[in-house]
Structures are given as C-alpha cells and as structure tokens.
A and B are shown apart, each in its own frame.
Chain A
C-alpha cells in the first residue's frame, strides 16, 4: 500500500518542506525521482487520508487564545451534548474519551473575554459545568513524530479485522 517513496515523503517531510518556487521538484531531485512522481505520491497520501495536508503547523496560542476543555456528561446525554458543543465555531477538536470526564475539546478564541463568553454559553446551553485546562507550558522538543511505517499495512488490516 505504502511505497518506498510514500514512506520517504512521510518521514522526511513532516518538517522543512522546501520554501522555493518548485518545492516538489526540489524534493524529487533530492530523492532521485521525478516531480510528477512526488506530486502523485503526495496526492495518493492525501487521497487516502494518510496525511491531512501539507502546510504550516501553528503552535497553540500563537494565533488567538486556546484552551482544552473537559466535561463529565452522563452517557445517555453525551451525543446530544456533543452536538450542542460542536455547533460553536470556536470548537476545534472534540473527542469522546473513556473516563468520567468523557468529552474533551479545544476552544480557540480571539481573546480571553471571547473565550470566557463561549464557555459560559456552552455551560448554559448544555446545563453542565466545564473544566478549563489551558496550556501553562509546552514541552515541545523534537520536530515531527518518527513514524514506524514498516508494519503499517499489517497493523491496519489487523485493526480493521478486529473492528469489522
């Protein structure tokens, strides 16, 4: 499924994507393939959702103000509350997690006042309290996450077989 070129692109270009007029050509020259091959390999990665995009990654709180928010919602009401929360455009990611605090989402607002208004509205509309967990420090060290792609296909197939 993943060719050697796919793997090289995935592991070598999570950072330092060339800032030059023909970035895909630059990558191609570096890897000893053609620009067309790089473009189609990236297209395939995007098409199959192995990458969500190629582009700039912005650290938290550099544009606007964000916070992680958790809520403890009774199981029977979780889906309804999640729908209410998702309607807010300030809500970025929203995950259900296995815990008493089972609803976890990230809010991005323009400033503190905007953030607190959105939180107050969420609490009013859902009838449940929120727990705000803003970032106090970001222990960001390495660039990119080193992917182990050797057994990807096998692992995916196993997982799919289990969940099927």
Chain B
C-alpha cells in the first residue's frame, strides 16, 4: 500500500460519485487514469485492505431501531470456535474478540445485533445465549441511546 492507495481510500470515503463514469471522475481528482484506479481497487480487495466495495446501508434509517452491542464472557479455550459461529448468524453484523478488564469488565466477545423490534432483539440475544451454552458465564447488552459523533474513516497522509 502506497500513498496513491491511501489517497484513493480517502477520496472514496465520501462515496463514489453518482455519475455514469464514477471511476473516471474520481481518477481525475486524484490525478491517475481510471484504469489504474480500478486496478488498484481490485488489488486492495485481493490483499484484504478493502473488505468489499458496495452500498453501505444505514440500518437505523432502514427500520432497524433496536441495535445492541451484545457482550459475552466466553471461556478462552472456546473463543475462536464460538466467535466464528456467532459471526455466522445472519442478524450479527460485527463479531469481535476483545480483552477483558477485570473486575469491572468480564466480557471478551462482542457481537453487534440489528433488530426492528425489542422482541426481535430479545430473540436474537436468546439465540446467541443458546449457541454459547455453558461456555458463557455472563452477558450484557448495551443499547445505544445517542450518536454523539459519526464520521467516515479518516486517515493521515
């Protein structure tokens, strides 16, 4: 990844232009050819710097008003196995292993769930609890009550 790649990522964080030739438009801004831009985007996808290219939905606006950060205290030996299974659930958008901070924070598995109703959210939490079974000692759910700041990815030069 070089400075041109970084410039490309920065330039696309506001979104591809909604014009017939968006890569051409963007390439001109960056000062490279449209072919080079597309090649670099393809290469960054192959190497995993870019996970996917597509429309980024706004879950909340689409009716998913019950979005919870579910957190679980999972036995370390089972973490990768169970984390992978939770990540596969279709209502989970992100699933991460993070460190505990004992004693005040015993949770090491984080799964973001998106639901349209409170009842649906409860069902999703019950589904995860059932999947983790006895390997989970405790869990909690943190619903967001206010978005205090939300900006796109910002990267330095």
Contacts and interface: CB of A to CB of B under 8 A. Distances in A.
Contacts of A63: 1, 6, 9, 49, 153, 155
Interface residues of A, number: 83
Name the prevailing secondary structure of the B interface residues: mixed
Contacts of A20: 38
Nearest to B34: A21
Contacts of A85: 148-149
Interface of B: 1, 6, 9, 12-16, 18-24, 34, 38, 41-42, 44-45, 48-59, 61-63, 65, 69, 79-80, 83-84, 86-88, 90, 93-99, 101, 104-105, 110, 114, 116-117, 140, 142-156
A113 interface: no
A56 B58 contact: no
Contacts of B95: 138-140
B58 A108 contact: no
Contacts of A151: 63, 116
Contacts of B61: 48-50, 156
Interface string A56-67: 111100111000
A133 B107 CA distance: 10
Name the prevailing secondary structure of the A interface residues: mixed
B63 A156 contact: yes
8 contacts: A21-B38, A24-B18, A56-B45, A57-B54, A137-B80, A139-B86, A142-B88, A152-B62
